């Protein structure tokens, strides 16, 4: 049942991502036209592409790096997410233990180093992205979820994590919601940040180091020969087409229709949605506490993630993970009124003391998900192109690691990163349509049913568990 004030709260919400709807947004750079050459061509101006360009320039300032993006840097997933920057490279410790048991300790170490390197880069380049090592608070909102939190805490401690298990009163002393029954605070492995400002800051750092960036430049095709890969770009009403011939290519288009046909079997685009409130008043802030500003997530299959911004707004997202038949990606899918109404209702159920809060923004975006929930890697065109995809919603931090892997692969180097099973292996493919859509919709229905039945997984979910398959956002 929709709460009576939900419609009023959503009435004036702007249908664009809050993070991108601010005066700090930089002016777009000119599109690419004509013929160009480069040592390294980066296709995609999200985090993965920006990190690859930056790291390549840091390693060798003389490398000629050219980056192109179909929109502007950070306009897609990198500017639409919740701003949770996790040390995990495996979509959480439990997933890492299940899929990479022999190297999870090394992946945990690399993840800690990666998060520290992101913090150091933010500091070194003066990137004002509200970076805060607040940690993340996972909360139980149903009694059966308490046992899962206790198991997660035991596993985390066994791998050296600084976690604290909280009872009902303790978790409500941190953030006051009548729905909370307990919580686990991971205090050192998650940072909160402003995602768009991070992308814009990385863009500026790349430009300062001499990376050539062309925005509103969509690559339409690739072809290779013995010495290079050539990328063709689309023209427009007032834009001539372009071409770039590069010795090496980094491909980071992730959830969007792939330029490599092989990627279609491994990645599905899933739409995720979020709301942003107006800034809370001092009285509203006092009503919920949240003095330690952790990122929050509940522990259902259909989970919500939420956090508080520097100016006292609450971002509230998740729950729905929506797939459209045929891997469809389109601008009109970024707005879904039924999901926004559900999120608003869930927000007010979580925080009834904020019943008079209104939402300022509502938006959606597409996530690249794969069956193992964490990134996979590969090369094409005789090793002259490297790709990374499948981050499944935890790419804010892991994309920097992915950029390092791609550069190592392009160098043809035998390194500790290229020897990882995480890097050498592949996820199981999704089936072709129409089985793909039918399977995903059955999985979504089954996950919702499990949430309603105290976590009990039906035969379909148990079969997926045995096969190592999954669907998540």
Q: What total number of domains does the chain contain?
A: 2
Distance of alpha carbon 224 from alpha carbon 236, whole angstroms: 25
**Overall average pLDDT of the 453-467 stretch:** 87
Whether residue 286 is found in the same domain as residue 177: yes
pLDDT of residue 241: 85
187 and 279: one domain?
yes
Does the residue 290 lie in any domain? yes
Say whether pLDDT at 7 is over 90. no
Indicate if the pLDDT at residue 1 is higher than 60.
no
H helix count then E strand count, the chain: 13, 18
Phi then psi for residue 80, to 5 deg, are: -125, -5
Q: Does pTM surpass 0.75?
A: yes
Specify the CATH number for the domain of residue 174: 3.30.9.10
pLDDT band at 340, cuts 50/70/90?
Answer: very high
The radius of gyration computed from the CA coordinates of the chain, to the nearest angstrom, equals 22
**Tokens representing residue 132 in the block:** 């805060």
In a domain, 280, yes or no: yes
Tokens found for residue 196: 């768009």
- Reply yes or no on whether the pLDDT at 273 is more than 90: yes
Q: Please, what is the average pLDDT of the chain?
A: 95
Model confidence over 106-155: pLDDT tens digits?
999 999 999 999 999 999 999 999 999 999 999 999 999 999 999 999 99
pLDDT for residue 473 is more than 60: no
Give the pair of three-digit tokens for residue 22: 């601010």
Same domain as 447, residue 363: no
Q: Region 88-103: what's the mean pLDDT? A: 95
242 DSSP assignment: E
pLDDT of residue 116: 98
Average pLDDT of span 280-287 = 97
Residues 185 and 272 in one domain: yes
pLDDT at position 2 over 60: no
Indicate whether 440 and 363 sit together in one domain: no
H-only helix segments in 236-385: 282-288, 337-350
Query: Is 148 buried (19+), middle (13-18) or exposed (0-12) by CB count in 10 A?
Result: middle
User: Would 88 be classed as within a structural domain?
Assistant: no
Distance CA(312)–CA(208), nearest Å, equals 32
Contact 396, 47 (CB under 8 A): yes
353 and 451 together in one domain: no
The answer to whether 66 touches 248, Cβ cutoff 8 Å, is: no
* pLDDT of 469 strictly over 80: no
- Please tell me the predicted confidence (pLDDT) of residue 237: 57
247 DSSP assignment: E
Identify the pLDDT of residue 466.
Answer: 82
Provide mean pLDDT across the span 467-472.
Answer: 68
What is the token pair recorded at 329? Answer: 């990606």
Averaged pLDDT for residues 208-221: 97
Same domain, 156 and 286: yes
**Omega before residue 434 within 30° of 0, cis:** yes
Evaluate whether residue 139 is within a structural domain. yes
Alpha-carbon dihedral sign for residues 31, 35, 36, 37: positive
User: What share of the chain in percent tops pLDDT 90?
Assistant: 89
The CA distance from 269 to 380, in Å, is: 22
At residue 400, does pLDDT exceed 80? yes
Task: Quote the domain boundaries for residue 443.
Answer: 435-467
Average pLDDT over residues 103-107: 97
- DSSP, collapsed to helix, strand or coil, labels residue 181 as coil
Of the candidates 354, 370, 386, which is a domain's last residue? 370
Phi-psi region of 92 (alpha: psi -120 to 50; beta: other; left: phi over 0): left
Q: Per-residue pLDDT for 72 more than 50? A: yes
pLDDT in tens, 221-258: 999 999 999 999 996 656 778 999 999 999 999 999 99
Q: Residue 249: which H helix or E strand, with range?
A: strand 242-251
pLDDT band at 452 (very low <50, low <70, confident <90, very high): confident
Q: Between the CA atoms of 444, 335, 132 and 109, what dihedral angle is there, to the nearest 10 degrees?
A: 40
Cα distance between residue 156 and residue 135, in whole Å: 14
Closest C-alpha to 114, from 138, 80, 78, 90: 90
Name the helix (H) or strand (E) containing 295. strand 295-298
Helix residue spans in 159-244 (DSSP H): 168-174, 195-208
Residue 451 has pLDDT above 90, yes or no: no
249: left (phi over 0), alpha (psi -120 to 50) or beta: beta
pLDDT of 188 reads 87
> pLDDT-based confidence at 3, cuts 50/70/90?
low
């Amino acid at each position: 049942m929709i709460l009576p004030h939900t419609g009023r709260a959503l009435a004036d919400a702007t249908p664009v991502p809050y993070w991108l709807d601010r005066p700090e947004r930089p002016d777009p750079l000119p599109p690419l036209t004509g013929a160009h050459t480069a040592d390294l061509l980066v296709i995609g101006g999200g985090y993965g592409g920006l990190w690859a360009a930056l790291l390549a320039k840091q390693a060798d300032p003389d490398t000629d790096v050219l980056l192109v993006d179909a929109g502007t840097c950070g306009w897609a997933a990198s500017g639409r997410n919740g701003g949770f920057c996790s040390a995990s490279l495996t979509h959480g410790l439990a997933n890492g233990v299940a899929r990479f048991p022999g190297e999870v300790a090394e992946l945990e170490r690399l993840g800690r180093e990666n998060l520290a390197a992101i913090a150091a880069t933010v500091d070194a380049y003066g990137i004002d992205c509200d970076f805060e090592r607040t940690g993340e608070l996972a909360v139980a909102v149903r009694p059966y979820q308490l046992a899962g939190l206790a198991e997660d805490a035991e596993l985390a401690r066994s791998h050296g994590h600084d976690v604290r298990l909280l009872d009902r009163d303790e978790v409500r002393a941190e953030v006051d919601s009548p729905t909370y029954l307990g919580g686990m605070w991971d205090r050192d492995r998650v940072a909160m940040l402003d995602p768009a400002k991070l992308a814009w800051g990385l863009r500026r750092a790349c430009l300062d180091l001499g990376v050539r960036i062309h925005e509103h430049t969509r690559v339409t095709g690739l072809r290779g020969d013995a010495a290079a890969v050539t990328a063709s770009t689309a023209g427009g009403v007032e834009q001539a087409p372009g071409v770039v011939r590069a010795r090496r290519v980094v491909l980071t288009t992730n959830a969007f229709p792939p330029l490599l046909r092989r990627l279609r079997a491994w990645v599905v685009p899933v739409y995720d949605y979020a709301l942003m409130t107006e800034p809370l008043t001092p009285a509203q802030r006092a009503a919920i506490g949240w003095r330690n500003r952790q990122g929050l997530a509940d522990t259902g299959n259909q989970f919500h993630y939420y956090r508080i911004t520097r100016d006292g707004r609450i971002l509230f997202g998740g729950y729905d993970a929506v797939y459209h038949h045929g891997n469809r990606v389109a601008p009109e899918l970024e707005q879904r009124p039924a999901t926004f109404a559900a999120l608003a209702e869930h927000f007010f159920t979580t925080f009834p003391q904020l019943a008079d809060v209104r939402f300022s923004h509502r938006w959606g975006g597409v996530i690249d998900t794969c069956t193992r929930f964490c990134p996979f890697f590969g090369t094409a065109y005789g090793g002259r192109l490297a790709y990374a995809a499948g981050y499944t919603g935890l790419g804010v931090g892991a994309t920097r690691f992915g950029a390092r892997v791609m550069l190592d692969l392009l160098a043809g180097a035998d390194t500790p990163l290229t020897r990882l099973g995480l890097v050498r292996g592949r996820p199981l493919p999704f089936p072709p349509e129409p089985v793909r859509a039918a399977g995903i919709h059955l999985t979504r229905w089954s996950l919702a049913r499990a949430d309603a039945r105290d976590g009990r997984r039906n035969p379909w979910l148990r079969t997926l568990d045995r096969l190592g398959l999954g669907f998540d956002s």
